Structure 1
């Protein structure tokens, strides 16, 4: 494997949109997001998308192709994003099977009443629709031994 981890800096987000469509997810390109990617040679194999909100970054997308999972690549990709985004905490909503990964990389539970802004309404809407998600937060000063340098 010839792996490269980097922040994706291109006004044309069609590569990210195409990648998401290959993983069966709908994505509307959004230039306000910060996108971090991992490539194997020239192929995009993973992406983390974060949107800056007033008091936090919202981890709004995290995809890694299935045969690249369980190799530590997701942890490394998230570590890159966390190192670059030290001014605010990162908030995400996680499904039950995702929570152990997020806990391992430094995220902790976040009470709904502590959440403000558009993500609060989004979380309430998802719960009403039956999604079993939990709010998690990673503070900039969090040290997670699982995040490689």
Structure 2
């Protein structure tokens, strides 16, 4: 039986996470000032998500499920953990367009670029003008 563990990354393990991103999601660049949460399966990191603080806002970014663990529902399990333990109303994410429904299933709602807070709007605009197909989303706490 598989053992799943969720938790905040121990900063000493940041080099391991950087190596995983470099191998599987080169655009993702984990930094020591981010809040990084992991889902480990049988003591090996299987999924990662980062929270970047921009002024008083949080942007969920860089969600990665290691390729050999994809298709097992681990992304959904990580999101369920986040909903119960981490996400707050007005947390944001810039979802790849094809993942909009995935994030919607976990409490995120699409918002117009104009509705983003100033510093997030600037970042989103920069990404969009750089050619990325993203959807701005905001977490709405159901409680």
TM-score, length of structure 1 as denominator length: 0.82
Higher helix proportion: 2
Provide the C-alpha distance between the structure 2 equivalents of 1:85 and 1:53, rounded to a whole number of angstroms.
17
Which residue number in structure 1 is paired with residue 36 of structure 2?
35
Which residue number in structure 2 is paired with residue 50 of structure 1?
51
Which residue number in structure 2 is paired with residue 129 of structure 1?
130
Does residue 1:142 correspond to 2:139, yes or no?
no
Aligned length: 142
Provide the C-alpha distance between the structure 1 equivalents of 2:25 and 2:87, rounded to a whole number of angstroms.
31
How big is the alpha-carbon RMSD for the aligned residues of Structure 1 and Structure 2?
Answer: 2.1
Provide the C-alpha distance between the structure 2 equivalents of 1:123 and 1:86, rounded to a whole number of angstroms.
20
Q: Secondary structure at the match of 2:132?
A: coil
Which residue number in structure 2 is paired with residue 25 of structure 1?
26
Provide the C-alpha distance between the structure 2 equivalents of 1:86 and 1:52, rounded to a whole number of angstroms.
13
- Deviations along 1:27-57, one digit per CA (max 9) or x if unpaired, are 4442221111011223211101011234431
**Distance apart, 1:130 and its partner CA:** 2.3
Provide the C-alpha distance between the structure 1 equivalents of 2:46 and 2:56, rounded to a whole number of angstroms.
30
Does residue 1:9 correspond to 2:16, yes or no?
no
**Distance apart, 1:142 and its partner CA:** 2.4
- Paired residues of 1:11 and 1:31 also in contact (CA < 8 A): no
Does residue 1:65 correspond to 2:66, yes or no?
yes
- Paired residues of 2:91 and 2:139 also in contact (CA < 8 A): yes
**Distance apart, 1:74 and its partner CA:** 1.1
Alignment gaps of 5+ in structure 2: none
- Paired residues of 1:45 and 1:65 also in contact (CA < 8 A): yes
Change (3 A) 1:38 1:85: closer
